[in-house]
Amino acid sequence: MLSTCLATALLMTTGIHSAGMLPVNDTATAKPKYVMVIHGGAGTILKSQMTPEKEQAYKTALEQALRSGYTILQKGGSSLDAVEAAIRVMEDSPLFNAGKGAVFTHEGKNEMDAAIMNGKTLAAGSVAGVTVIRNPITAARAVMEKSQHVMLTGPGAEKFAKEAGLEIVDPSYFYTEERWKALQKVKAVDENKTQLDHDADTTHKTSRLGIENKDNKFGTVGAVALDRQGNLAAATSTGGMTNKKYGRVGDAPIIGAGTYANNATCAISCTGWGEFFIRLCVAKTVSDLMEYRNETVQQAANELIMNKVPALGGDGGLIAIDKNGNIAMPFNTAGMYRGSVTEDGKIEVLIYK
């Protein structure tokens, strides 16, 4: 699972523009320098199915996450501190499938995954299948900074987090009525069906790899940032799939698949059908295309999300910021909760295409 993701030899298609990407001005004088981008999951997010109150709740939560990270960056703090702070805000909100809002497994538990990476040193840490750590992203950072390892899982990760002084909570802390009802609804239809988040599409969807996903829902949260010292960082956190079994782990905690940062190129956090992001090593491949093919962050991100992932039958999106403060936020679903902030503090939050 943790083997090195090799660069993929891809023929790039230039000039592609995703509906999910903020425009990047090519003129040096007008180009905004972004310092942070976040996402709260992608999927069939339709305005017609969103109440004004819920839409505003999402926007408020995303703005709060952006402000928490921007405050750190504005004061000269590190990109690592910024992405962790932004993720913690979303982990503490029941709106997102991470931390407090994590979905339930087949056994009726909340199993969470998270990862963080330092673009300056390529140091990284992640946890998977944790059930009692209030903020999995903080545990991932502890693995990176206080252990000799990159990934810890299950009870071992929880024991490590407790010894590191992190906040441990009773599993009941993660219970939310909405997520519990979602589990019961899925199991009532099919005991073996798994479901991601943020989607109202109930049609059958089968990938070229023979995997069927009936609901196509993605509810990961992520953040990428560039600090004043020129250092990049990426972080991702998720509750995974509703009704998942057997300790399933997606792409979020796998360095190079769902999370990656390198000062030479960019920082990336993905959200989507994790099995496909793992197979394509999406995050690392975006970086490799920039490093070895001299592609822009926009071109590289689009190639993976708009071409390679859907070619296999997968869906989702990603956020990325390069070493110069250019961003990309492509997605191939109906919507993606996302937001950005520039160095002057201008915040933009988007949901739909």
Residues carrying an active site annotation: 220
Sign of the C-alpha dihedral computed for residues 17, 19, 22 and 23 taken in this order: positive
Concatenated DSSP letters of 39-75: EEEEE---GGG--HHHHHHHHHHHHHHHHHHHHHHHT
Which residues fall within 8 angstroms of residue 265, CB to CB, at 6 or more apart? Answer: 286, 287, 290, 291, 297, 322, 323
Sheet holding 266-272, edge to edge: 259-261, 266-272, 316-322, 327-328
DSSP assignment letter at 101: G
Copy the structure tokens of residue 78: 């590190």
From the list 244, 234, 255, 188, the residue with the least C-alpha distance to 213 is 244
Sign of the C-alpha dihedral computed for residues 283, 287, 288 and 294 taken in this order: positive
From the list 17, 67, 25, 65, the residue with the least C-alpha distance to 41 is 65
Instruction: From residue 165, give the alpha-carbon distance in Å to each of 10, 78, 110, 291.
Output: 45, 22, 21, 38
